[in-house]
Amino acid sequence: MHKTIVGGIAALLISAGVCLAQPAGITREMIERALPVEGAPLAEPGPYKIASEAAFGSPGLLVFRPVMLAAFPKKDTLPVMVWGNGGCAIDSARYSGFLTTIASHGFLVLGTSPQEGAPRRQATADDLRGAIEWAEKENARTGSPLNGKIAVDKVAVMGQSCGGFLSISLGADPRVKTIGVFNSGVQTSGGRGTGSSQPGSDALAQLHGPVLLINGSDPDFMMAASAATFDMIDHVPAFYGARHNAGHTATVFHPGGGEFANVASNWLLWTFKGDKKAGAMFVGKNCSLCTNANWDVRAKGIKE
């Protein structure tokens, strides 16, 4: 079995909490490996206090949004970020710290939520596509607190592990302007395309916006797939970062999502809000991640 397939299956099993035998060579310790919290960079929240709530009319979706919406769109924009959980699990509440930090910078963040009595299953690209459609409808719904406030022309899809597979699959959607792929990457042999939870290299040709690829370096068994995915992207801007000693879970479960939440937030602030201070994390030879001894980075097509 190809190692990226093994890695993908392992991510599905552990992150979804399925009690099945792990594939050969992939241990629970490898899957749960994270950056130690002590001494790690802290999450940096934005200016907005965040509410978390069920999506109106869509109990399978979880919403993270600024409580006070008067600034949107008069002084700020409210782009959309749809999140895919590790293991393609339908329970974004587990990532609430990470997602709250991102939303606090002025984003509408959408994830999945389990419905009482519904059969247990994994999320698909259609579930995340449904979140984009919900945002479009909510922006137009009379009486919605979000009416006219959502920047529906600025949609990102990000995800961790199996959720990263979904972000790549949704990168073909013309509404998706950028994707973030955390601890994940495409299947590099025998690609199965965008119809699978683990897309093949053919899915990369359908991407049309900048790509952020972040992994946990050597302790992350998906590092090789992440790096190979970056190498195969040749027609859109891409940024690759490997955080030393972070492992497969990295910092997503640190308070506020830790360092990975800062990377995701800055990418979105730069891409959707033109925030040059945020962009300095990625842009130029002296970008802050480029000069950070804890990171190995590469970039292509990133313009200053």
Angle between helix 96-103 and 258-273 (nearest 10): 30
What pairs with residue 112 in β-bridges?
A: 61
Angle between helix 3-15 and 223-232 (nearest 10): 120
Query: Which one is predicted more confidently, 7 or 111?
Result: 111
pLDDT at 197: 56
d(C-alpha 174, C-alpha 181), whole Å? 18
Set out the domains of the chain in order of their start, with CATH numbers: 3-35+46-300 (3.40.50.1820)
pLDDT of 10 above 80: no
Average of per-residue pLDDT across 185-197: 56
pLDDT of 188 above 80: no
Q: What is the mean pLDDT of the chain?
A: 90
pLDDT confidence of 210, banded at 50, 70, 90? very high
pLDDT confidence of 187, banded at 50, 70, 90? confident
List pLDDT tens digits, range 132-154.
999 999 999 999 999 999 999 99
pLDDT of 196 above 50: no
List pLDDT tens digits, range 39-71.
999 999 999 999 999 999 999 999 999 999 999
List pLDDT tens digits, range 238-269.
999 999 999 999 999 999 999 999 999 999 99
d(C-alpha 27, C-alpha 182), whole Å? 19
Q: Say what percent of the chain tops pLDDT 70.
A: 89
Of 73, 33, 257, the C-alpha closest to 158 is 257
d(C-alpha 216, C-alpha 218), whole Å? 7
pLDDT at 56: 97
